[in-house]
Amino acid sequence: MFVGTDPPAVADEMLQVIARAALDGSEVLFTRGGGLFLPLPLRLSHPVPLGPLDLPLFDAKREFLAQAPYQFNMIVCELALLGGIPAEPVSALYVQPASVVDDHALVNSGGGSGPMNRDRALAGALFDLLRDDWRAWSRDAEVLAENSCRLNLSTKLREVSSALPTLVAGAYFHHVNGATVEAHADSSTVTEAIVGAFWARLVAGNNGAAQLALRKTISTPRRLDLLVAEDKAFERLHADFQLANPGRVKLVHSAVADDESAHLSINAMRTAVELLCGEPVAQPVPSTPNYW
């Protein structure tokens, strides 16, 4: 991604840190070229020594690596919801060593076992910069990077489940790239999780026999029926879910999905997110390489 009004004159400008997101006591750095960087805590900043394995240090680094994608995907989710940008969610396989010098950050090495993957094994973004491929990337407003780093939407999603920001980003990414089954599965999961969160609030607001009866209701369509009866604010979500539900049932029971059913599922997800977060979110837009 490239953020800014005018293209940078040199590749070095793509490495400039232009926004920061405070998250879990740390800070995620966002570069003009769309790179995301998470500084290592001081206690993890030295390599695992040769010789007998330092298990506490190794386990701490492994836990840090396991959590890093969730933190990166908070911003990827924001980019999707605020700007409709379908960036691919980050997985631990793509988290690589990097350097940060004078507010410029770059992944400077690659690696990993398994099938060959250019971006992972050869630090693909570095090669794009060296070959000037970045000049063909699309451009987005710098304010989008700044707003994404506020994490207003993804924080509310994470309160429901730590996986929701990743699933939202995945739904956007898969939908615009034509992966209908994945888009449908991700978006349906998000919608049902949000409905479940609203349902939990309704159950907690009752007691005795009424609460017991509500606890027995496990069907999402039925839960939405009852939520609408309690609060008309759920009417739009109820209507969008009703449109998407036949496709959801077909996917679950027949493993079949098409563009139309995925689109309806994405719409229901967007409505659920808007209801949860209290503000409108963007439609998915066609996917191209992005630069800031």
Q: Is residue 116 located within the same domain as residue 159? A: no
Listed residues 151, 183, 208: the one ending a domain = 151
How confident is the model over 89-96, as a mean pLDDT? Answer: 83
**Per-residue pLDDT tens over the stretch 222-250:** 999 999 999 999 999 999 999 999 999 99
Please give the tally of structural domains in the chain.
2
Listed residues 132, 151, 170: the one ending a domain = 151
User: Domain for residue 292, yes or no?
Assistant: no
pLDDT score of 115? 56
How many other CB atoms are there within 10 angstroms of residue 247's CB atom?
22
Judge whether 18 and 3 are in contact, CB under 8 Å.
yes
Q: Is residue 61 located within the same domain as residue 142? A: yes
How many other CB atoms are there within 10 angstroms of residue 202's CB atom?
16
The pTM is what? 0.85
Distance (Å, whole) CA 269 – CA 279 = 13
Q: Is residue 40 located within the same domain as residue 170? A: no
Hey, what are 170's tokens?
């995945």
Residue 130, pLDDT > 90, answer: no
Share of the chain above pLDDT 70, in %: 82
How confident is the model over 47-51, as a mean pLDDT? Answer: 71
Instruction: Tell me which residue range forms the domain holding 198.
Output: 154-287
Residue bearing the bigger pLDDT, 107 or 160 = 160
Amino acid at 232: K
pLDDT score of 276? 97
